[in-house]
Structure 1
Amino acid sequence: MSLYSVMDIAGSAMSAQNVRLNTTASNLANANSVASSAGETYKARHPVFAPQLQQALQGGPGQSSMRQSSAVGVQVLGIVESDKPLVMEYAPNHPMADENGYIYKPNVNAMEEMANMMSASRSYQTNVQLADTTKQLLSRTLRMGQQS
């Protein structure tokens, strides 16, 4: 695997973590929203990732296990809504209450979202450091060729 492939992998990972940070920010921004029905209530969203390993694997046993030109990265398959139950709260005096006096709140757990945000941020930071180290290695390799 070349150092350029490492940059592609780090780039795909940073892009995936950016999606994760954006969905987490959206969840936190809507955590305290209120609706008058379950259908209108915001539902927590989470990205689904898949390693792109199948694209990089080649042939069967006995053959080279990785193609030289292909990098194994991360792919965002999509964003799914959480299937956790919504929070129903009895608040008959609330202006958004339904005919039974209930308001509906999102199924967003702020603690989980903060943990997701910290994890995504750390992962993003790790991949930035990986890309920087790779850049330094490429630069040193080029300088070695100049000294000869």
Structure 2
Amino acid sequence: MNDIARTMQASASGMAAQAARLRLSSENIANADTPGYHRKLVSFEEVIAGDTRAVATGPVRLDRTEVQRIHDPNHPLAGDDGYREASNVNMMIEIADAREANRSYEANLKMFEQARQMAGSLIDLLRR
């Protein structure tokens, strides 16, 4: 039963990490048109507690890629040189990250469900 509990713990930590990744990707997509917005990134860290391994999110950091400068002299936010700042969010990357996070979340959920079913079956066998 201990192995099943460790599996469920690892799956739950994976789901939490992917949920955080999906949340940040959603924030980035929502702010893609915000002038000067820097894309938010999160990294994953391995956590070892005793004999249990899990994953946790590291600190949220900003992407250091330059923000895009757009020449649009008629825009109200344009400077004297006619350029304005956009964000450094690439929608294709964000959509791909969101899909990958969603699929990873689903894989962790299936592993959690499988471990839960195995634990239930084991309990049923022990009752007999």
- TM above 0.5, yes or no, is yes
- For residue 19 of structure 2, what is the aligned residue in structure 1? 18
Gaps of 5+ in 1: 35-40, 57-66
Name the CA distance, whole Å, in 2 between partners of 1:104 and 1:13: 36
1:89 Cα deviation from its structure 2 partner: 0.6
1:68-147 matches, within 5 Å, as 70-147=51-128
Task: Answer yes or no: is 1:50 the counterpart of 2:45.
Answer: yes
1:73 counterpart SS class: strand
Name the CA distance, whole Å, in 2 between partners of 1:24 and 1:77: 15
Residue correspondences, number = 127
Following TM superposition, the consecutive aligned residue runs of length 4 or more in structure 1 with deviations greater than 3 angstroms are: none
RMSD of aligned Cα (Å)? 1.2
Gaps of 5+ in 2: none
- TM-score w.r.t. structure 1 length? 0.81
The letter of the residue matching 1:71 is T
1:33 Cα deviation from its structure 2 partner: 2.1
- TM-score w.r.t. structure 2 length? 0.94
1:103 Cα deviation from its structure 2 partner: 0.8
